[in-house]
Amino acid sequence: AQRVTQPEKLLSVFKGAPVELKCNYSYSGSPELFWYVQYSRQRLQLLLRHISRESIKGFTADLNKGETSFHLKKPFAQEEDSAMYYCALSTQGGSEKLVFGKGTKLTVNP
């Protein structure tokens, strides 16, 4: 069965500090991984897709198949990064669905 684990429910850092939000997955196939972000009172938004290897708002994430991880990192956190972050795995095979982790609430303190 597919599973996404985000071990930290809450993460608090100071502005300017590095931040890493952890995500581990369990999936027997070839995964497609995403990070979604939900700012206060806003809709869930796609932040990153592993397939595109992009950097959005200073965030990056690298898929490590050996460790089955897809951690989200930013070298210098900003107050506006405070939000709920969800890691998600997309299954394949023609009838895809997203399997979400329970989320990590990031608070960046001034």
Partner 1 sequence: KAGVTQTPRYLIKTRGQQVTLSCSPISGHRSVSWYQQTPGQGLQFLFEYFSETQRNKGNFPGRFSGRQFSNSRSEMNVSTLELGDSALYLCASRPSTGGLWGYTFGSGTRLTVV
Q: Does 99 bind partner 1 (CB under 8 A)?
A: yes
Contacts of 2 (CB under 8 A, 6+ apart): 25, 26, 27, 89, 91, 99
CB of 70 to partner 1, least distance (A): 13
Residue number, 80 or 96, with CB nearest to partner 1: 96
Residue number, 35 or 71, with CB nearest to partner 1: 35
With CA atoms as reference, report the closest residue to 30 among 69, 65, 73: 65
Q: Does 17 bind partner 1 (CB under 8 A)?
A: no
Provide the β-strand partners of residue 103: none
CB of 108 to partner 1, least distance (A): 22
Q: Does 92 bind partner 1 (CB under 8 A)?
A: yes
CB of 64 to partner 1, least distance (A): 18
Binding site for partner 1 (CB under 8 A): 32, 34, 36, 43-46, 49, 51, 86, 88, 90, 92, 94-103
